[in-house]
Amino acid sequence: MQDKKILCPSILNLPIMHIAEEVTKLDKTDMDIFHVDIMDGTFVPNFGMSVRELQMIREITDAGNKKLIDCHMMVMNPHRYIQMIAEAGADIIYIHPESELIPSATLELIQRHGKKTGLILNPSTSLEMVKDMLPITDYVMIMAVNPGFAGRSFMPYTRQKFVDLHTYRSEYNLSYHLVLDGGATKEVISDLYHNCGVEGFVLGKQELFFQEDDYETCINRIRLY
């Protein structure tokens, strides 16, 4: 039987003035992982959230329902910040392989800090580039949009990459979770979950934020897709 969906609200979608209030509301729902984007303006042409915001989310979850937090590192040479991000409260730390000279060493560093490892594949990143690191990877996130901005539409040609990573996982008896980041509409979630072996979904404006229904109603509805 397919694993339960892993639902990951992307906090970058929230207005800065109300992040704490909205995170508190989300923490009370059946969501799974808070998704926090850290950007340096160099690896991607934008700036995202800060370590202080990560710490704030950690404090809210620690006081509430103990949700997990992942950190999507869209920065150059993220090994420089792993200890800082780990100490701030991230449970899962994702890196882009292109951002490091030796990405496998950074994954091992994440492990030494007691955190789960994550690899991110951009639309242009091949399975061949990362396959040797998959045995030490807990989560594989595939970008179905070009990274750096919220609210973009799913790129249909990325679908095959999910299929390939699911097939590879089965063939080599690996246990990483597959996660979609970008363009998570009802149709995309349903297709990838039921047909491509994808368990995790980073949720944005398409199905969760700025909807007529409250977060709990939206999360419960997405569970049924």
Sequence spans of domains, the chain = 6-223
- Per residue in 43-58, pLDDT (tens digit) is 666 777 789 999 999 9
Catalytic residue status for 181: yes
Domain 6-223 has CATH 3.20.20.70: yes
Catalytically annotated residue among 27, 32, 37, 70? 37
Say how far apart CA 168 and CA 119 lie, in whole Å.
Answer: 15
Catalytically annotated residue among 32, 70, 138, 181? 181
Residues of the chain with pLDDT under 70: 1-2, 41-45, 148-151
Say how far apart CA 184 and CA 161 lie, in whole Å.
Answer: 16
Catalytic residue status for 3: no
- pLDDT at position 201: 98
pTM: predicted TM-score of the whole model, two decimal places: 0.95
